[in-house]
Structure 1
């Protein structure tokens, strides 16, 4: 599948500074490249950045097949089509699972790996409320405020609703539609199961950026991180949850920048 993406060219105020490599950002479930503009602009100080829309998200095509494995295949096609060599791959949540699976099944392809707040294990599809909040008919709604009020019946968290609504688009005729393939994602509820049931391990230099209060990381995950990614560093952002690139953006970018600078001195 040909994926949509946004390119942030390498821009550094130091004319003598050379790019350290190409960056690729893989968003999480219900996200898109649009959610990563600030991080992408920050990383463009280090090299060109490709913020990707994964299948069934953003401006990329919809398809009934949705799995970590097939998204890793999409990434392989993306790298070949754009002739990107040894990229630095950043993946969040679902995108982190894709990134880890890709690295484990394509040894030596990545230069570095950055994983945000997800571990290499099976996760439940615990997004019934989010799916419901995007499944009611949108005809007759004349504003985002009206849609948000209806969504609030299913999802009480304003932050999550605002996050989901980044994929809500208004057409020229004034009607609204979801850029997400809501139906397809609803029927891919096993997407996070049995992804890492093999014995491969990686020696790619890996950074795990974790939220200190995240519900996605448990104590037993650290051993699996070490077993599968044998050259890793873990950085935990105190008080952070799953969306630390939003909620703790300043310290997140500082930690990301420090790691990159230390890796390329």
Structure 2
């Protein structure tokens, strides 16, 4: 599948700084390239940055097939189509699972791997409320405020609602629709199960950038990270949750910058 993407060309005000190569960013479930504008611009100081819309998200095509494996196949097609050599791959949540699976099944292809707040294991599909908040008919709603009020009946957290609404689009006739394939994602409830069922290990230098208070990471995950990724470093951002690229943006970008500078100098 040909994925939609945004490109942030390498741009560094220091003429002595050379590009480290291409960087690819994979968003999480219900996200899109729109969630990564600030990070994309920041990382463009190091190289060309591609922020992808994965299938069933953003401006990429919809499909009834949605799994970590097929998304890894989409990524492979993207890399081949754009003739990208040895990229740095950053993945958050679902995108992190895709990134880890891709690296483990394509040894030696990546230059570096950055995984945000996810571990190489199975996860439950615990998003019934989010799906419900995007499943009611949008006919008759005249503003985003009205839609938000209806969504609040299912998702009380305003941050999560605002995150979801980044995929809410208004048509020329004034009506609204979801760019996400909500029904398709609802029927892909095993997407996070039984992905890492093999013994392959990776030699790719890997940074696990984790929220210190995240519900997605448990202590037993650290041994799994070590099992699959021989050359990994773990950094926990104090007080951070699953969306540290938003909630703890300064520290998050500082850690990304430190990692890239240490690995490429």
Scaled by the length of structure 2, the TM-score of the pair is: 1.00
For the residue of structure 1 that corresponds to 2:192, the secondary structure is coil
For the residue of structure 1 that corresponds to 2:199, the secondary structure is coil
Residue of structure 2 in register with 1:41 after alignment: 41
Deviations 1:50-85 (A, max 9, x none): 000000000000000000000000000000000001
For the residue of structure 2 that corresponds to 1:199, the secondary structure is coil
| Matches of 2:259 and 2:90, distance apart in 1 | 13
Residue of structure 2 in register with 1:261 after alignment: 261
How many corresponding residue pairs?
Answer: 265
| Matches of 2:23 and 2:34, distance apart in 1 | 16
Could you tell me which runs of 5 or more consecutive residues in structure 1 were left unpaired when the two chains were aligned: none
Residue of structure 2 in register with 1:95 after alignment: 95
| Matches of 1:176 and 1:195, distance apart in 2 | 35
Residue of structure 1 in register with 2:146 after alignment: 146
Could you tell me which runs of 5 or more consecutive residues in structure 2 were left unpaired when the two chains were aligned: none
Output aligned runs, 1:42-57, within 5 Å.
Answer: 42-57=42-57
Residue of structure 1 in register with 2:65 after alignment: 65
Residue of structure 2 in register with 1:123 after alignment: 123
Residue of structure 2 in register with 1:246 after alignment: 246
Runs of 4+ aligned residues of structure 1 deviating over 6 Å after TM superposition are: none
Residue of structure 2 in register with 1:200 after alignment: 200
Residue of structure 2 in register with 1:173 after alignment: 173
For the residue of structure 2 that corresponds to 1:173, the secondary structure is coil
| Matches of 1:112 and 1:10, distance apart in 2 | 17
| Matches of 2:106 and 2:203, distance apart in 1 | 11
For the residue of structure 2 that corresponds to 1:154, the secondary structure is coil
Deviations 1:153-201 (A, max 9, x none): 0000000000000000000000000000000000000000000000101
For the residue of structure 1 that corresponds to 2:163, the secondary structure is helix
| Matches of 2:256 and 2:235, distance apart in 1 | 9
Structure 1 range deviating more: 16-25 or 121-130: 16-25
| Matches of 1:263 and 1:79, distance apart in 2 | 22
